[in-house]
Chain A
């Protein structure tokens, strides 16, 4: 079945540690996105990419990094510079053109040890 796979489902980070969240899609979508969701807040954009080897910062990019070496993959690294990383992280993808809806994975919940 086509879809977006995020892993792991739960992740724990120690102080000073970088962690990487995986996002893979087999929908042949062009664009991919990372959002952060906190209780009582809407989804906020971290990074997005419309084409391989290119990406743009969103509203809250500080303390995060991404790469887009393959069309189907868009990993997110939460660095030690992100002082409040505890949140639910959601990856989405869509076709460009025609204003197609974004489809989401089932998220990764990151907590601090």
Chain B
């Protein structure tokens, strides 16, 4: 069964304290792994797509990496505005357009 597990469930950081969020997955035929940011009462906002092991993507203070079993979202010197829930999702199978399988998310709180 295709599955995505995110850890930790919640993470509290001080401003400037770098850390990483983990997304481990078991799927049959990974087409892509996606990271989203979700603010309270809003829809998920797309951050990154990773397609193959070894791939890395960066955007401001965020860097996403991918191995054959897991992905990390590294947050460098976070600011309070980085506080949100970060969702990881995978698209699996052999057909384009299949739905995403989501993890439960990691809620990040950054205090000044």
Contacts and interface: CB of A to CB of B under 8 A. Distances in A.
Interface residues of A, number: 30
Given A101-B34, A107-B41, A40 B104 contact: yes
A101 B97 contact: no
Interface stretch (B44-52, B64-72, B76-84): B44-52
A41 B102 CA distance: 9
A90 interface: yes
Contacts of A45: 99-100
Most chain A CB neighbours (cut-off 10 Å) among B42, B43, B103: B43
A44 B91 CA distance: 13
20 contacts: A4-B43, A33-B99, A35-B102, A42-B4, A42-B104, A42-B105, A43-B87, A43-B102, A44-B102, A58-B99, A90-B43, A94-B97, A99-B31, A99-B91, A101-B49, A102-B46, A102-B100, A104-B44, A106-B41, A109-B41
Interface of A: 4, 6, 30-31, 33, 35, 40-45, 48, 50, 58, 90, 92, 94, 96-99, 101-107, 109
